[in-house]
């Protein structure tokens, strides 16, 4: 009977090793799936409050409209509203563009809820927010986008405009 018990113990040990190996593969697959499919940290950390704060920060450092129009550089105007969640989510994109092109292109932010910008809202046909209007150095509209715009699209248009200068 001890030979049978020894064989049963060996079989149990083999099954235990097999289940351990299977469990290890499953845990590894789950961990790999989690780490390979999780969103970027910046996406996770972007909350409505942080988006609003970033939007307000960008508005505070943006060039005044009159100064931008008087400049010899092209001008990128963002028509926005504090309550606009798309405006908030685009703030990091606009910030990245400002860091890359801020020396060559004027960045202006106009709050559509501020009555002082009513004439510009009408002039540029800002019927939705965010609206992004790129003006040439001679104040001619080059392109207008409404809503969420991918950064590469904006960058490509900026590069094309700057190549013509």
pLDDT tens string 130-164 = 999 999 999 999 999 999 999 999 999 999 999 99
Closest CA to 76 of 7, 164, 162: 162
Does residue 98 share a domain with residue 19? no
Catalytic residue among 55, 58, 63, 87: 87
Does residue 19 share a domain with residue 96? no
Name the residue range of residue 12's domain. 1-38
User: Average pLDDT of 65-72?
Assistant: 96
CB 91 within 8 A of CB 62: no
Does residue 153 share a domain with residue 111? yes
Does residue 120 share a domain with residue 51? yes
Q: Is 104 helix (H, G, I), strand (E, B) or coil?
A: coil
Does residue 16 share a domain with residue 77? no
Does residue 88 share a domain with residue 55? yes
Does residue 156 share a domain with residue 85? yes
Does residue 149 share a domain with residue 73? yes
Is 110 marked active-site? no
**Which pLDDT tens digit goes with each residue over 73-120?**
999 999 999 999 999 999 999 999 999 999 999 999 999 999 999 999
Does residue 34 share a domain with residue 76? no
- Give residue for tokens 């290890």: 24
Catalytic residue among 58, 84, 121, 161: 84
pLDDT at 7: 76
* pLDDT at residue 121 tops 90: yes
Does residue 134 share a domain with residue 104? yes
Domain count, the chain: 2
Q: Tell me the residue ranges of DSSP E strands in the chain.
A: 75-80, 106-111, 131-135, 141-146
Does residue 129 share a domain with residue 57? yes
Is 68 marked active-site? no
Q: Is 121 helix (H, G, I), strand (E, B) or coil?
A: helix
Ramachandran angles phi, psi of 11, nearest 5°: -65, -40
CATH number at residue 70: 3.40.30.10
Does residue 118 share a domain with residue 100? yes
**Which pLDDT tens digit goes with each residue over 7-52?**
777 777 788 788 877 877 787 777 666 666 555 444 444 555 677 8
């Amino acid at each position: 009977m001890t030979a049978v018990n020894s064989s049963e113990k060996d079989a149990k040990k083999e099954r235990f090793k097999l289940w351990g190996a299977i469990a290890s593969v499953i845990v590894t697959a789950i961990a790999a799936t989690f780490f390979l499919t999780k969103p970027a940290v910046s996406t996770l950390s972007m909350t409505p409050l942080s988006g609003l704060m970033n939007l307000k920060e960008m508005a505070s450092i943006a060039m005044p409209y009159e100064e931008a129009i008087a400049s010899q550089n092209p001008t990128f105007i963002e028509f926005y509203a504090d309550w606009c969640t798309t405006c908030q989510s685009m703030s990091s994109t606009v910030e990245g563009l400002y860091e890359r092109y801020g020396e060559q292109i004027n960045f202006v932010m106009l709050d559509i809820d501020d009555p002082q910008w009513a004439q510009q809202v009408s002039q540029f046909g800002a019927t939705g927010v965010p609206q992004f209007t790129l003006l040439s150095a001679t104040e001619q509209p080059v392109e207008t986008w409404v809503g969420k715009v991918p950064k590469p699209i904006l960058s490509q248009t900026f590069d094309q405009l700057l190549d013509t200068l």
